[in-house]
Amino acid sequence: MAVRNESTAPVGIPPVAVAPSARVRRGRYRGMGGGSGGSIGAYVVVFVVCFFCLFPLYWMFENSLRNDVGAQTSITIIPREAHWDNYQRMWTALEYPFHVFLINSFVVAGMVTIGVTLSCAIVAYGFARFRFPGRDVLFYFIIATMMIPFAIMMIPSYALFINVFHWGNGGVIHLPGWTGVGTYQNAFQFLPQIVPAFFGSPVFIFLLRQFIRSIPYDLDEAAKVDGAGPLRILWTVIMPAIRPALTAVVVLNFIGKWNDFLGPLIFLQDPHNWTIELALNGFVGRYTVTFFNLQMAASLMSMLPIVVIYFFASKQIIEGVTLSGVKG
């Protein structure tokens, strides 16, 4: 009577041998990330990094609730008494109400974002879809301008806008009383901040060009069969297809202009025209460290709009920047 060996493989199917190195690698991977120890270690690292990133924000908020003396004489984690009226005091502490500077920042950053987005989309569409003599040379020349520091262009720009265009003063704009903003006596000072944006940005031209080149040209041909011209193709075919990249351009440019300090410092000499960054600088210049709690409250209020915008658009920013390099 024959005895069946359960360990032998069925007839016709050779046994599969596993290399020792493969078994070692599987065991090593399970020890590194597959086990509970690796997961706990990863959570600890993430917690430590998040703590060091978020603690300055908490410290800013905690200092904004202290009294005038405690904000500069003691260091605490939890304030003994929360002074929420610091935000009300901060709002009217400068020469003009704080919402005037917020509105100025929204107007400047919004107009600059519109100008950069539209101009860069048009220029990038031309470089990606049209062939003309010297196209690549011109594109490389535009990209090369990214290496020019702003400090080099600062004095020529000031001389051009102030001495030639005379945008240093003048331009009266009356706003309704319900806005609480008042009258702008030197509205022309905003033009050096807004007008150059409508001539494009090399960084965003490059990003949008790369994204447009990843779009199949068959979509353009199909639109041409339907009788669409170049501008219609740009508006109805290209723009919807590059929405992630456009979102990245809008958010990154808005945040960058909102946080800009040097440009407004040069051209916005009228305190009524100050953006939020100049208002914070004026806050420090007026109060130094006397009212440290009010300075922290002002800094926190200036940061909230950017945090909200980035929170809702962070996914589109990552997607737009990542997909822009699909096709070189």
Cβ atoms of residues 278 and 101 within 8 Å? yes
Q: What is the pLDDT of residue 293?
A: 84
Q: What is the pLDDT of residue 320?
A: 64
Name the stretches of the chain with pLDDT < 70: 1-37, 70-75, 285-290, 320-328
Phi-psi region of 76 (alpha: psi -120 to 50; beta: other; left: phi over 0): beta
Q: What is the pLDDT of residue 69?
A: 72
Helix locations, 130-167, DSSP H: 135-144, 150-158
Q: The tokens of 171 are what?
A: 């331009």
Return d(Cα 323, Cα 234) in angstroms, integer. 19
Query: Closest by alpha carbon to 100, among 200, 204, 183?
Result: 183
The count of other CB atoms within 10 Å of the CB of residue 170 is 11
Cβ atoms of residues 258 and 306 within 8 Å? yes
Tell me which H or E stretch contains 183. Answer: strand 183-184
Tell me which H or E stretch contains 12. Answer: none
pTM of the predicted model over 0.95: no
Strand, helix or coil at 168? coil
How far is Cα of residue 177 from the mean position of the Cα atoms in its chain?
Answer: 33
Query: Closest by alpha carbon to 280, among 310, 301, 311, 305?
Result: 301
Q: What is the pLDDT of residue 15?
A: 52
Return d(Cα 264, Cα 105) in angstroms, integer. 10
Q: What is the pLDDT of residue 6?
A: 47
End-to-end CA distance of the chain: 72
CA atoms lying within 13 Å on the CB side of residue 88? 3
Strand pairing report for 183-184 and 173-174: antiparallel
The count of other CB atoms within 10 Å of the CB of residue 101 is 26
Strand, helix or coil at 309? helix
Give the 3-state DSSP-derived string for 246-262, with helices as H, strands as E and coil as C: HHHHHHHHHHHHHCCCH
